[in-house]
Every structure is written in structure tokens, then in C-alpha cells.
Amino acid sequence: MTIKLHGLSESETAVLLPDGLITLAYRGSIAHGLYVPKAQPDSIDDKDLQGVYVAPLAYYLGLQDASAKGKGVWERKQGEWDVVCYEVSKMIGLLLKGNPNVLSLLWTEDQHTIMQTPMGQKLRDNRNLFVSKQVYYSFAGYAHGQAHRMTHMAFFGYMGAKRKELVEKYHYDVKNAAHLIRLLRMCIEFLSDGELRVLRKHDTHDLLAIKRGEWTLEKVQDESDRLFTLAQEAYVRSPLPAQPEREKAERLCMEIIMEYHGITLPLQAA
């Protein structure tokens, strides 16, 4: 399947993407409906993509030990395009841990999905295997990280000049602040019904206002304190299972790898 990203040639796009892709979608600001176009003066958003790929058969059956096989993460960046893709067993391991970034891929709106093979659809169709109360710890942990970076100047090392200017202008990192509030709200919603609302249809106004610096730091901190409390209460009341379905997830992983490589195992004797 040929993929061409806006503003890039087919060959430039191919360099950004791994072989063996089974699904590719927007992540980050575009997937959340919070993208601020580059034409706007305070824009600091990239066009972020996330995907899942199946590695060559030698990765799974070869003689190399695990350390020689790499970490199962493909990362590339070109201009405004920022791509991260995970080998399928790596992806499923992260899903079982309730990682907010990778869970979002399974609930991304169809309009933000760039490509999907039957194996990618199979992963998405089985997303309920990864629904559990355990996500509270991952979401809350990520949110605490955003809260810390929001006000600590030591994080300047990973910022571009434009983002640093915004921190100096508003006296806190407005992008981290928006992530903080969004993560906590998504956590509360997920714990309530097991649905991850990636596209922020109902609180777009709030989150964009934070990104524009229209909330004071005190207002952001007050709201995050309130949401941390609500998230903890949602965890206690949550009807979700305590843990994800690990055995079924492992089987799903094997099925996807075997299907991709055309492997059929003989039926076991009764």
C-alpha cells in the first residue's frame, strides 16, 4: 500500500515509515482536534503519526538475542512530520501497561486513520482486551510528569525556540498544561465506561484556550488538583476489570504475526 504524506514525495514518505506497517494514524494534536496550524503565530504543533508494524520473521525466529534485535521502536522526523511506530509485540506490551499514548491509537477516529490492514483492524477490534482499572496509574503518572515539566525550566533542552518564547511569555508551558488537563479528563472518562475519547469534541474550547495562554497558571493548577481527586475517586468506583486480559492479548499478538508471515500451525492433538 503506497502512502504519501502532504508536502512530501512518495520517496520522502517511505523514508519516514517502516516496512511491515499494519496500521498508521495521526496522534497528538491532530487526533485530539487541537492542532494549531503553522500559519498562526503561536503554533508549536507538529503533525504526529503513530503506527504498528510486524518485523521480519528473523526478528522472531532468528538466532539474535533480544538485545541485538533493537527496542522495537521506529522513530523518524522530517520537517513538521514526527513519526513513531512500534513493532506489534512491543505495542501490545505497552497496551497491557495502559500506556496512554499507545492506547489512543486503538480509539482514534476513522477520519484520522491513514491506513489500516485487516491485521491492524484486528488489533483495534480487540481493544477491549486492554481495558482495565490499571490505566489509572499510567494516566496519573503521565499527568504528574506534565505538571512537573509545566513549571520547571530544566526542560528547556527538548524545546524549540518558539516554545521557549511562549514559556517566557506566559510563565509556564502552555502545551504541557493542555496535555495535563486532557490526560486527567480522559482518565476519568475511561475509568467510567472503558471508552477513550481521543477526539476532544466536548472540551476543545478549554484545551485550546489553555494552549493559547488564556488560563492563568493558578487556574490550571486548581483544575488539575480537582481532576487528580476526581480521577482517584473514579478509580475506586470504576466498573472495569482490575487487569487487562494478558493471555488473550498474547494470543492476539501471535495470530497477527503468523497471519502477516503466512504461518499456519498444525492443530494440537486432543
Give the model confidence (pLDDT) of 112-147 as tens digits: 999 999 999 999 999 999 999 999 999 999 999 999
Q: Is residue 231 part of a domain?
A: yes
How far apart CA 207 and CA 70 sit, in angstroms, is: 37
| 95: alpha, beta or left? (left if phi > 0; alpha if psi -120 to 50) | alpha
Domain assignment present for 3: no
Evaluate whether residue 267 is within a structural domain. Answer: no
Residues 141 and 65 both lie in one domain: no
Q: Using CA atoms, how far apart are residues 203 and 184, in angstroms rounded to an integer? A: 12
Q: Judge if 122 and 249 occupy the same domain.
A: yes
Burial code (b: 16+ CB inside 10 Å, e: under 16) for 186-217 equals bbbebbeebebbbbbeebeebbbebbebebeb
Q: Which long-range contacts (CB under 8 A, 24 or more apart) does 166-171 make?
A: 166/42, 166/44, 166/213, 169/213, 170/213, 170/217, 171/217
Closest CA relative to residue 74, chosen from 119, 5, 24: 24
Kindly state whether residues 32 and 109 are assigned to the same domain. Answer: yes
* The total number of residues written for the chain in this structure: 270
270 found inside a domain: no
Q: Are residues 126 and 203 in the same domain?
A: no
142 and 228 Cβ atoms separated by less than 8 Å? no
Verify that 32 and 112 share a domain, yes or no.
yes
pLDDT tens for each residue of 150-191: 987 545 555 677 778 888 888 899 999 999 999 999 999 999
Q: What average pLDDT score do residues 65-86 get?
A: 83
Are 187 and 100 within one domain? no
177 and 199 share one domain: yes
Amino acid at 165: E
In Å, how far are 126, 219, 242, 253, 267 from 122, measured between CA atoms?
A: 6, 42, 24, 10, 22
**CATH code of the domain in which 119 resides:** 3.30.460
Query: Average pLDDT, stretch 243-258?
Result: 97
Q: What is the pLDDT of residue 270?
A: 42
Same domain flag for 250 and 169: no
Answer yes or no: are the C-beta atoms of 45 and 15 closer than 8 Å. no
Confidence of residue 41 (pLDDT cuts 50, 70, 90): low
How many independent structural domains does the chain possess?
Answer: 2
Confidence (pLDDT) at 85: 97
Q: In this structure, are 140 and 226 located in the same domain?
A: yes
- Domain of 95 in residue numbering reads as 20-130+245-261
Q: Is residue 159 part of a domain?
A: yes
234, β-bridge pairs: none
Q: Hunting for cell 525550566 — which residue is that?
A: 153
CA distance 147 to 161: 21
Residue 66 pLDDT > 60, yes or no?
Answer: no
Residue 51, domain member (yes or no): yes
What mean pLDDT, rounded, does the chain reach? 91
User: Within this chain, do residues 139 and 51 fall inside the same structural domain, yes or no?
Assistant: no
What is the Cα–Cα distance from 180 to 147, expressed in whole angstroms? 6
**∠ Cα 254 69 53 (to 5°):** 45
Residue 14 lies in a domain: no
For residue 103, CA distances in Å to 2, 99, 202 come to 26, 6, 20
What's this model's pTM, rounded to 2 decimal places? 0.90
Work out the pLDDT band at 46, boundaries 50, 70, 90. confident
CA 141 to chain centre: 15
Helix axes 217-237 and 135-151, enclosed angle (nearest 10): 170
Residue 113 vs residue 66, higher pLDDT: 113
